[in-house]
């Protein structure tokens, strides 16, 4: 039997979907004829993304600006998406903040900012979406990061937050499984042309190290991550839930702690 993936008119919500990897995910679902909604803080980025989703082939595209740290704003935004599009078939939660900083050198507020965006933001999105999830059938994907399981210098804030995101994924797989909701984390490795790589791997030299460090010997593309999201949201993955799935060219096998050491060394050198 030929396998077909059919996302025509499926309702896909991508929180943090207005740039980088998450926008790539939104555009990929749009290319499959889905109804796609995106959200982030910037109305300009939301408007620009909605236009690109329609161009990519979305059967409908809408957006709303909100900050995932504000639980009431998240609830209002997701209610608006539900009013406009109906129950959610697919929910992707990927809003995140990151910068390289050693724990001793960053303010408590700096650590908190990242935890509030990545971890509390994910919680707000999960809780506010719950009444609107298609039951049975919804596929939820939380976008995580290798730092969540691989301790990396200068990434204590992100590591703590993403470890929490992955545990939310596992717990909700247990709590919501009976209702036919599947939830998984997707962990991108080093992905080309993204804000994350710009912030953590800015120089040509460190990009070359990232490539060398990745067993498949290349950076990932946004489509590599988006294709996994398509697969996970299809019937092909109908018995997959509670998993943390790397899309990283094998980086997991090697671990990324040397990458973290390079970041730590860079920051320590800047202090001397």
Residues that bind ligand HXC in the complex, under the rule CB under 6 A: 96-99, 101, 106-107, 109-110, 113-114, 145, 158, 190, 195-196, 199-200
Please give the DSSP secondary-structure letter assigned to residue 139. Answer: E
For 238, which DSSP code?
Answer: T
Residue nearest to ligand NAP (CB): 20
Q: Which does 110 bind (CB under 5 to 8 A by kind): ligand NAP, ligand HXC, none?
A: ligand HXC
Shortest reach from residue 96's CB to ligand HXC, in Å: 4
Name the helix (H) or strand (E) containing 65: strand 60-65
- As measured in angstroms, the least distance from the Cβ of 35 to ligand HXC is 26
Give the one entry of ligand NAP, ligand HXC, none that residue 99 binds, where binding means its C-beta sits below a cut-off of 5 to 8 angstroms depending on kind.
Answer: ligand HXC
What are the backbone angles phi and psi of residue 59, rounded to the nearest 5°?
Answer: -75, -25
Backbone angles phi, psi at 225, to 5 degrees: -70, -45
Are the C-beta atoms of residues 153 and 139 closer than 8 Å to each other? no
Query: Shortest CA distance to 146 belongs to which of 227, 248, 6?
Result: 248
What is the number of helices (H) and of strands (E) in the chain? 11, 7
- CB-nearer residue toward ligand HXC: 179 or 195: 195
Q: With CB cut-offs between 5 and 8 Å by kind, which of ligand NAP, ligand HXC, none does residue 64 bind?
A: none
Nearer to ligand HXC (CB atom), residue 206 or residue 241 = 206
Which residue in the block uniquely carries the two structure tokens 């939820």?
Answer: 140
Cα–Cα nearest to 14, from 79, 70, 88, 75: 88
Cα distance between residue 88 and residue 81, in whole Å:
9
Nearer to ligand HXC, 37 or 219 (CB): 219
Whole-number Å distance between alpha carbons of 218 and 265: 24
Which of 129/194 has CB closer to ligand NAP?
194
Nearer to ligand NAP, 40 or 206 (CB): 40
Q: Which residues contact ligand NAP by CB under 6 A? A: 16, 18-22, 40-42, 45, 67-69, 94-97, 117, 143, 145, 188, 190-191, 194-197
Compute the least distance from the CB of residue 258 to ligand HXC, in Å. Answer: 13
**Least distance to ligand NAP, CB of residue 258, Å:** 16
User: Could you tell me the smallest distance in angstroms from the CB atom of residue 152 to ligand HXC?
Assistant: 9
Shorter beta-carbon distance to ligand NAP: residue 106 or 143:
143
Tokens of 163: 């470890």
- The rounded distance, in Å, linking the Cα atoms of 226 and 232 is 10
CB of 253 to ligand HXC, least distance (A): 16
Smallest CA-to-CA distance from 59 within 39, 92, 32, 28 is with 32
* Closer Cβ to ligand HXC, 181 or 247, answer by number: 247
């Amino acid at each position: 039997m030929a396998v077909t993936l059919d996302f025509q008119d499926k309702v896909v919500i991508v929180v943090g979907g207005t740039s980088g990897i998450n926008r790539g995910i939104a555009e990929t679902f749009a290319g499959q004829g889905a109804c796609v909604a995106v959200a982030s803080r910037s109305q300009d980025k939301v408007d620009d993304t909605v236009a690109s989703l329609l161009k990519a082939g979305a059967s409908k595209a809408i957006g709303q600006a909100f900050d995932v740290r504000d639980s009431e704003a998240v609830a209002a935004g997701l209610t608006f998406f539900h009013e406009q599009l109906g129950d959610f078939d697919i929910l992707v939660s990927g809003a995140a903040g990151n910068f390289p900083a050693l724990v001793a050198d960053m303010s408590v507020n700096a650590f908190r900012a990242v935890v509030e965006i990545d971890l509390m933001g994910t919680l707000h999105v999960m809780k506010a979406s719950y009444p609107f999830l298609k039951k049975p059938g919804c596929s939820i994907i939380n976008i995580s990061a290798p730092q969540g399981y691989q301790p990396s210098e200068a990434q204590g804030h992100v590591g703590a937050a993403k470890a929490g995101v992955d545990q939310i994924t596992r717990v909700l797989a247990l709590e919501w499984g009976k209702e036919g909701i599947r939830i998984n984390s997707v962990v991108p490795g080093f992905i080309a042309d993204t804000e994350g790589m710009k912030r953590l791997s800015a120089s040509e030299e460190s990009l070359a190290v990232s490539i060398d460090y990745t067993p498949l010997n290349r950076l990932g593309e946004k489509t590599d991550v988006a294709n996994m999201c398509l697969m996970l949201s299809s019937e092909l993955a109908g018995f997959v839930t509670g998993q943390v799935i790397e899309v990283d060219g094998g980086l997991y096998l090697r671990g990324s702690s040397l990458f973290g050491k390079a970041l730590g060394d860079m920051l320590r050198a800047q202090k001397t």
